[in-house]
Amino acid sequence: MWRKKALNNALRGRSCPREGMGVRARTALALAIAIAIASAVLVTASTTEIAEARPSSQGVIHRTKGNETYEDLARTYYGQRNLATILLLFNRRPEPLPPGTLIVIPTSHTVRVKAGQSLEDFARRNMSDPGRAEYLALLHGLTGRDAKLPPAGRGLKVVPSLRHLVRRGESLESIARYYYRDGSARRVRLLALYNRLTTVKPPAGKAIRIPLDEKVFDLAQVNARRRGGAPDPKPPILAAETPSPAPAARTPTARRAHTTKSARASAREARRAHDRATPPQTAPRLAATASANNTAPTAVRADPRQAGVTDIELQSTEDLYADGLYERAHDQGMMLLKNRPAASAKDRLELFRVVGFSLVALGKVDDAKAAFQEMLHINPDYELDLYRTSPKILNIFHEVAMR
């Protein structure tokens, strides 16, 4: 007690009332200040540690350290690097991320229904819109009376959402396939109910919300992954329950510089499968008649400019990009675009894609935008693969697409 009294008196500028206590009071004051400073340091350190990942109304707040990227954060919190694009679109902050940047990791959480609470009231309180009651009913399989007045204590999922600006030609099905890889009737219905849409083809320019209601975004799972640091054993797709079948058409195989040999081998095998499903090219046209001295017929060499791009040429261009040889990939792509005027629109689209990707890697953003613009001239509805394309490229491509 005397230390506390001496400290208070010293802080107020008073002398200690007890004779002979001056030295002891000064000692107590110095000790108290030292303890206070040490406590402040510990509190600051603890607060800094908590700030690395703390909950918020939208999800978990992460403070970046070192050279962290969206891919690093996606693997830490979701167990899937491919969900880096979700973090980019949600935070709308391009890379690189300086140390100390606050990034929101969107997560869903469960809220229990109160006694006598209607589903509309629950949606109004927790999702800002009573009209999303139908969305909640479909999401949780509530029917009949439960769809109006769910049982007290029933846990319902409250989800964050992304903003999406509808482009010309898009439908709810194409948007659902883009974000969830699931174009099923149920997924389209969920998207329509969440946005209170009466049409599956919203007008171009309309802003809609993409609810992040998949299991991978569940707060409990996110916290478990963050503590354990183990990736999900499931395939890296957003819609883990009902993935749509892979398209039969040729898929992009361009990769970032760190693409592994096994991944490139898989890409080549996929293209070989595509080639096997495609009718073989006709053999070189032979001369109609042999010469007078009965020599064997000879093949007529076709003008390369009148021919299209061969699969080998296209594959080699993509492999150059996958191997990190961006200058060569760009030069070969431009050479084929110039010297193969008869190339199909599909092949020209692929070449412009590789050229654009290479230009982004080389830091030539304006030239990359020009290449992406050419792609959209060929196919205005073209979409890059959300799960196989880096967030940086997606950001630049979407900027061009929104013009």
pLDDT in tens, 202-245: 998 899 999 999 999 999 888 888 776 544 444 333 433 333 33
Model confidence at 375, pLDDT cuts 50, 70, 90, reads very high
Do 117 and 187 lie in one domain? The reply is yes
Half-sphere exposure of 82 (CA within 13 A, CB side): 17
Instruction: Let me know whether 174 and 217 are in one domain.
Output: no
- Mean pLDDT to the nearest integer, 269-290: 39
Counted domains in the chain: 3
Cα distance between residue 347 and residue 243, in whole Å = 27
Q: Calculate mean pLDDT across residues 315-342.
A: 87
User: Residue 296 falls within a domain, yes or no?
Assistant: no
Q: Are residues 383 and 346 in the same domain?
A: yes
Average pLDDT of 175-188?
90
Domain end residue (candidates: 210, 225, 249): 210
What is the residue type of 376? Answer: L
| Range name among 43-52, 78-87, 88-97 with the lowest pLDDT average | 43-52
Q: Are residues 194 and 265 in the same domain?
A: no
Instruction: Based on the fold, state whether residues 176 and 309 are members of the same structural domain.
Output: no
Task: Indicate if 131 and 154 belong to the same structural domain.
Answer: yes
Asked whether residue 159 is assigned to any structural domain, the reply reads: yes
DSSP-assigned beta bridge partners for residue 61:
54, 104
- The average confidence (pLDDT) of the chain is 75
Whether residue 140 sits in one domain with residue 199: yes
Model confidence at 110: pLDDT above 80? yes
Q: Tell me how far apart the alpha carbons of residues 349 and 162 are, in angstroms, rounded to a whole number.
A: 28
Domain that holds residue 113: 109-210
CATH number at residue 271: 1.25.40
Q: Is residue 34 part of a domain?
A: no
On whether both 167 and 203 belong to a single domain, the answer is: yes
- Higher per-residue pLDDT: 59 or 293: 59
Query: Do 270 and 384 have their domain in common?
Result: yes
pLDDT at 34: 56
Residues 120, 179 share a domain:
yes
**pTM of the shown model:** 0.51
Mean pLDDT over 327-355 rounds to 89
**Domain check: are 133 and 218 in the same one?**
no
Question: Is 371 a domain residue?
Answer: yes
Q: Beta-carbon neighbour count of residue 393 at 10 Å?
A: 21
Per the domain annotation, does 145 fall within a domain?
A: yes
Verify cis geometry, omega within 30 degrees of 0, for the bond prior to 202.
no
Q: Would you state the structure tokens that stand for residue 215, as one six-digit string?
A: 């299991």
Query: Alpha-carbon distance 180 to 273, whole Å?
Result: 25
How many other C-beta atoms are found inside a 10 Å radius of the C-beta of residue 332?
A: 22
Residue 199: inside a domain, yes or no? yes
Please tell me the distance from the alpha carbon of residue 196 to that of residue 301, in angstroms, as a whole number.
61
Please state, as a whole number, how many other Cβ atoms lie within 10 Å of the Cβ of residue 311: 16
> What is the gyration radius of the CA atoms in the chain, in angstroms?
31
> Do both 148 and 101 map to the same domain?
no
